[in-house]
Structure 1
């Protein structure tokens, strides 16, 4: 069995990341994005995020099978110790522990940088799972120690269906006073 390698993103990975993300845009309500961004736009997103925050890829036999990154939770200064985390896996690679490896490594990087709170924005069905979204991401995050902190009702519309969105949070720091200095990547 091939080993999964977790490493920082390289801009040359962008096309493979976009292929993974495109699947979720076209086939799921996991992202509320409707249109697949151009490769140029997606490369710009990667470059902007990875200037400040960890952006990791999981590779198997040299092929990207998943990615995870952090981004600002909110742009106001008081929120700078909190980040929003995101993860996407190649659909054929789900359920093999890759997501857990990516998130653990991402958490290690963020903790070392001084971040205190991880926040995940997750789409969920209003009630019962459908062919576009289920509670899998919520359960994945629960398994990793995230707690539900809020639910927004019928806030996303995709595939002629209204979906709810939840926020989950994991505290990774002890919130000292004064707040820790944030280190560069």
Structure 2
């Protein structure tokens, strides 16, 4: 049975191993070099200090992770967050990403986040480094494409497009409630 939980300090190495594949073998991330464990742990600490950072575990084995981060640092964007998900190669296509996103969305709603955005690399010619599975995954979860940047990322001697997808998590009532840290919600 797959369990979704918050990230723990001991998870950094396992999460980095999942991420390293995407850095070295795919254009899903535009990062060129695999970060060190210390740098990756710092990223986890920074993100999880305010936003949910979730891990999918089955039989003690980490299958993947998802988190939200600030969409933009200016105060007026507080009600928007950017989502990220990475799965181990063996966990893809088994509903793990969907389970992670369902919990991520529930946590973000509890915080008061209204808009969830995803920045996704896309290609018109699948080349072994990128297909459009992430776009299709987000569409299946109710995200809509709201913008496209042409040939904006260069990796593996190839130019890739980037799209922004968006999902409204709740209504945009006025007056708006302040966004709370994940640590202030009942789930944490």
Tell me the TM-score normalized by structure 1.
0.97
Deviation at 1:184, TM superposition (A): 2.2
Instruction: Tell me which residue corresponds to 1:51.
Output: 49
Instruction: Tell me which residue corresponds to 1:21.
Output: 19
Q: Structure 2 CA distance, aligned partners of 1:183 and 1:79?
A: 14
Q: Structure 1 CA distance, aligned partners of 2:52 and 2:43?
A: 13
Instruction: Tell me which residue corresponds to 2:181.
Output: 184
Q: Structure 2 CA distance, aligned partners of 1:101 and 1:20?
A: 17
Aligned to 2:136, which of 126, 139, 157? 139
Q: Structure 1 CA distance, aligned partners of 2:77 and 2:155?
A: 30
SS at match of 2:50: coil
Instruction: Tell me which residue corresponds to 2:118.
Output: 120
Deviation at 1:178, TM superposition (A): 1.3
* Alignment size in residue pairs: 182
Instruction: Tell me which residue corresponds to 2:127.
Output: 130
Stretches of structure 2 that go unaligned for 5 or more consecutive residues are 183-188
Instruction: Tell me which residue corresponds to 1:104.
Output: 102
Instruction: Tell me which residue corresponds to 2:149.
Output: 152
Deviation at 1:130, TM superposition (A): 1.5
Tell me the TM-score normalized by structure 2.
0.96
Instruction: Tell me which residue corresponds to 1:165.
Output: 162
Q: Structure 1 CA distance, aligned partners of 2:9 and 2:151?
A: 36
SS at match of 1:121: strand
- Give the root-mean-square deviation of aligned CA atoms: 0.6
SS at match of 1:153: strand
Moved over 4 A (4+): none
